[in-house]
């Protein structure tokens, strides 16, 4: 009887905490996202007068919004430990980031672990499934200039054309530096069986923890954003000026990011919202490749991309067996870094969000009373 009462008490606490978290996040969204939109609406004259200043301000507010999402997981004890290469020294250089995709929580994890990477968050572009356009954060991503891609053979060719047009129109004009994509084209649990059948048919490696990546978006990004000479090799700059008028160097790096969850149990967005899972450490592994090492031709790029995901498979298999990633060349012991968020900064950002919400509510209420 005592055990039953104890279990009921724990369940009641979990449910109460979930309800309180949901209410807080609902209000958080209701004040932060409209405030972001209204501030940018107010700043449209600045966009005409000085576009670079406008997108700088937008980027700062975008980073604050992502910090709020990160705080939802952080206060529930969901943290990140980083492995492999340190990507912070190249935070001001242009890079394409390829990530394995297990669940909706992958995006939240990236939002958290990139917070301490300089200006990356405010100058990055995301490639996401089109369904994210209809989430609470969809309007923000649409304004920021992220690209929503539709999956499936029926849409593939048109989507790649749309992607190239989008990159030409927004990537340089908004001074983007990093572009993040999930080359697998869907969640692991949904694509694993299809990927394994494709691999068996074409004598490709059998993968369990990742799926074979799709080439389309990766190829378009590399061809569009890399500086290439007439002979097809990678050059020193694209010839495209940025907002300050300086020539851009184009993509300089490909950053291979591998996300691993304890016991291979992915963290989804519902967990971040309701916080019903015990405190969990998500592990993120980085490998950096200079763009000159990345082939540009489709066939060679396909082989290169497949090899990266074979390596991801090996990394994840080792992690699930041992609880850590394998040693890098020259290492005598595995080295990891605990990623931390500044609680004071998070409190300041949340305070600004709620204060902005109150101010805008008061302004709109006053305007309504004056008009009606």
Task: Domain of residue 206: give its range.
Answer: 1-21+79-231+249-323
Residue 268 pLDDT > 80, yes or no?
A: yes
First to last CA, the chain: 62
More confident site: 35 or 154: 35
CA 107 to chain centre: 5
Is 57 domain-assigned? Answer: no
Mean pLDDT score, 292-304: 93
For residue 101, what pLDDT is reported?
93
For residue 262, what pLDDT is reported?
93
More confident site: 289 or 228: 289
For residue 346, what pLDDT is reported?
92
Give the pLDDT band of residue 102 (cuts 50, 70, 90): very high
Q: CA-to-CA distance for 339 and 92, rounded, in angstroms?
A: 19
Helix (H, G, I), strand (E, B) or coil at 288: strand
The DSSP output letter for 50 is: -
More confident site: 265 or 155: 265
Is 255 domain-assigned? Answer: yes
**Greatest mean pLDDT range, 37-51, 189-203, 226-240, 241-255:** 37-51
Q: CA-to-CA distance for 239 and 220, rounded, in angstroms?
A: 18
Total number of residues shown for the chain:
372
Residue 114 pLDDT > 80, yes or no?
A: yes
Q: What is the mean pLDDT of the chain?
A: 88
Mean pLDDT score, 61-75: 93
Is 353 domain-assigned? Answer: no
For residue 372, what pLDDT is reported?
82
For residue 339, what pLDDT is reported?
87
Listed residue (264, 281, 283, 280) closest to 321, CA to CA: 264
Domain count, the chain: 1
pTM: 0.89
Residue 321 pLDDT > 50, yes or no?
A: yes
Looking at residue 257, which CATH number applies to its domain?
3.40.1130
Is 237 domain-assigned? Answer: no
Is 139 domain-assigned? Answer: yes
For residue 218, what pLDDT is reported?
93
The beta-strand segments (E) located in the chain are: 78-84, 95-99, 124-129, 147-149, 178-181, 253-260, 280-290, 336-339
Long-range contacts from 102-105, C-beta under 8 angstroms, 24+ separation: 102/187, 102/188, 102/189, 102/259, 102/261, 102/266, 103/187, 103/188, 103/266, 103/267, 103/268, 103/269, 104/268, 104/269, 105/261, 105/266, 105/267, 105/268, 105/269, 105/271, 105/272, 105/282
Q: CA-to-CA distance for 202 and 141, rounded, in angstroms?
A: 37
Is 70 domain-assigned? Answer: no
Q: CA-to-CA distance for 293 and 235, rounded, in angstroms?
A: 12
- Do the beta carbons of residue 127 and residue 147 sit within 8 Å? yes
Mean pLDDT score, 233-256: 67
Listed residue (254, 273, 285, 271) closest to 80, CA to CA: 285
Give the pLDDT band of residue 233 (cuts 50, 70, 90): very low
- Residues paired with residue 159 on neighbouring β-strands, in sequence order: none
Is 361 domain-assigned? Answer: no
Residue 90 pLDDT > 60, yes or no?
A: yes
Query: What angle separates helix 298-322 from helix 216-225, to the nearest 10 degrees?
Result: 120
The tens digit of pLDDT for each residue in 141-182 reads: 999 999 998 877 777 788 899 999 999 999 999 999 999 999
Helix (H, G, I), strand (E, B) or coil at 170: helix
Is 356 domain-assigned? Answer: no
């Amino acid at each position: 009887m005592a055990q039953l009462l104890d279990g009921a008490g724990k369940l009641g606490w979990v449910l109460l905490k979930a309800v309180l978290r949901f209410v807080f996040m609902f209000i958080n969204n209701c004040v932060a996202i409209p405030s972001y939109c209204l501030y940018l609406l107010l700043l449209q004259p600045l966009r005409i007068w000085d576009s670079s200043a406008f997108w700088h301000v937008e980027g700062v507010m975008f980073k604050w919004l992502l910090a709020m999402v990160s705080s939802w997981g952080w206060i529930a004890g969901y943290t990140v430990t980083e492995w492999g290469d340190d990507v912070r020294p190249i935070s001001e250089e242009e890079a394409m980031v390829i990530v394995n995709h297990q669940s909706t929580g992958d995006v939240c994890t990236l939002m958290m672990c990139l917070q301490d990477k300089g200006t990356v968050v405010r100058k990055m572009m995301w490639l996401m499934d089109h369904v994210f356009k209809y989430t609470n954060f969809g309007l923000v991503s649409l304004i920021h200039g992220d690209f929503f891609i539709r999956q499936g053979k029926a849409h593939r060719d048109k989507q790649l054309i749309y992607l190239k047009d989008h990159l030409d129109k927004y990537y340089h004009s908004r001074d983007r530096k990093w572009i993040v994509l999930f080359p697998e084209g869907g969640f692991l649990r949904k694509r694993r069986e299809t990927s394994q059948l494709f691999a068996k048919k074409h004598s490709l490696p059998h993968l369990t923890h990742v799926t074979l990546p799709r080439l389309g978006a990766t190829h378009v990004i590399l061809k569009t954003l890399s500086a290439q000479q007439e002979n097809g090799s990678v050059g020193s700059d694209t010839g495209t000026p940025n907002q300050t008028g300086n020539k851009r160097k184009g993509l300089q790096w490909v950053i291979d990011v591998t996300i691993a969850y304890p016991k291979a149990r992915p963290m989804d967005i519902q967990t971040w919202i309701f916080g019903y899972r015990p405190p969990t450490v998500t592990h993120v592994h980085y490998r950096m490749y200079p763009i000159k090492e990345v082939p540009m031709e489709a066939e060679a790029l396909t082989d290169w991309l497949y090899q990266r995901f074979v390596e991801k498979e090996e990394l994840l298999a080792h992690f699930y067996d041992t609880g850590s990633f394998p040693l890098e060349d020259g290492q005598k012991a595995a080295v990891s870094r605990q990623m931390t968020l500044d609680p004071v900064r998070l409190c300041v950002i949340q305070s600004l969000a709620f204060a902005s919400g109150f101010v805008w509510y008061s302004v709109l209420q006053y305007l309504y009373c004056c008009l009606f």
